[in-house]
Structure 1
């Protein structure tokens, strides 16, 4: 028998009638149980939400209380400050007169100049309070340093000193501080060395390219490291010797041109006017020649010529202080 037939059975005495009623009861009970579960779940959720909110309120309430207490304290302090300001203004208004001001100043002075009860002990500060001084380092180029230069002015020197100027062709550098710049001018004097037949040049001044003049003691050296400069040597001694020889020849010619008489004792000059004139000329010529030879030995004119552009070496005869070339 199928389920449709059981449901459609109209017979009240059928055994399936009880089963159908039980089925309806079971379905209704399930529906009631589901509804009750939903209701209980909603109630539980609402209760848990209320508990969470109440916990939050409980947790936040102490913080809010503290902030309220602080605000009230600040307000009370502000009120107290206002009252104190009013009192100070009232006191200042009462004590505006000069007499009161003097009285107040006297009080202040009397308080400030009270002797202290703390004993004062003098203590030597020691090295902790010494003033630090920065010592300037002496920077210099030592004696004996050699650098190269070139003559700007030609040299024609004799016994007297002549002006000489040279220029450095390269920068002379010992380190970052000790240096002589390129194109620095060397100024000095030259004199003749009659023994070595050369020129001795001594420089006394160094002019930097910036225009600063400094003192420098140095000596010019030749390419062979001799303390002189080689040049063209000139002398008028040959001309003077020739003149002296001419006077000597004139003396001999006058001596030989005199008239002589030959006798048993030899030749003798005749006592005539011509012989006397020639005798005087011979003596005078011999005397002049002798004096000229003496002058040649003592005062012969000699000089040396050095052209401009000649390369030389310069050696320091004394230390050169770099601080001279620093702008103050």
Structure 2
């Protein structure tokens, strides 16, 4: 059996979709259906069972063997709202929960593949998976940075004690976009929002300075394929997952206008509450990913947008 936490989310459900393409269906989805609309991300997928995130945690801490043979855990579940400032909630949800699941995986030698984030880099301009390049600027990024550091300490301790650990792989996702993000509301990608604005006859709204704001936008199906490559090859480490090329928000808007053959771009003031906690530039350094043999070819932003628009606008 394979477990996918956050399995009803965008990345989790696309990992399940990629598993289904490989005829893997013995999948336990762990999620929180407080937002019941997320069921739509699972309705066309083939899974064996579903568990609420709290019930799942009780099972692995109270009676550890009830779940049977587990071949891998994809830990995608987290609070990914970068504007959330409830630090108690964020650390409990993203850090403490992840630690418990990690130790369960280590105890039973289960490959553990988890979602980190490019938010760990903050406003740094070099995106290499080393501590000196990290510096989160919001509590979401800090929760991810601290879990990465916790994993590093486990690796260091095992090295000192000459212990052989099961696989632990962290993925520093950059700006992921694509199918199954509609439930994310304000946290959905700018591409999702541009599509909605054009279809509603609105102008495409970008912040002042958006020609200078550049992010590494990565298509969600590429993210899923990288996850499965690591499951197959059982390589541990923390790796960037992005295209390696930054694109401005303005150019994204232009691509959308060109695709539809209509639409106007409107500049709006940059929100005050984001000024100290906003990453204006991200670009994945893929040296480490390529060095271990992962040759996956990421879609360009234009290729990803064209594929995404065909899916999201399908009647």
Tell me the TM-score normalised to structure 1 length: 0.16
Query: Which one has a larger percent strand, Structure 1 or Structure 2?
Result: 1
Larger Rg: 1
Tell me the TM-score normalised to structure 2 length: 0.17
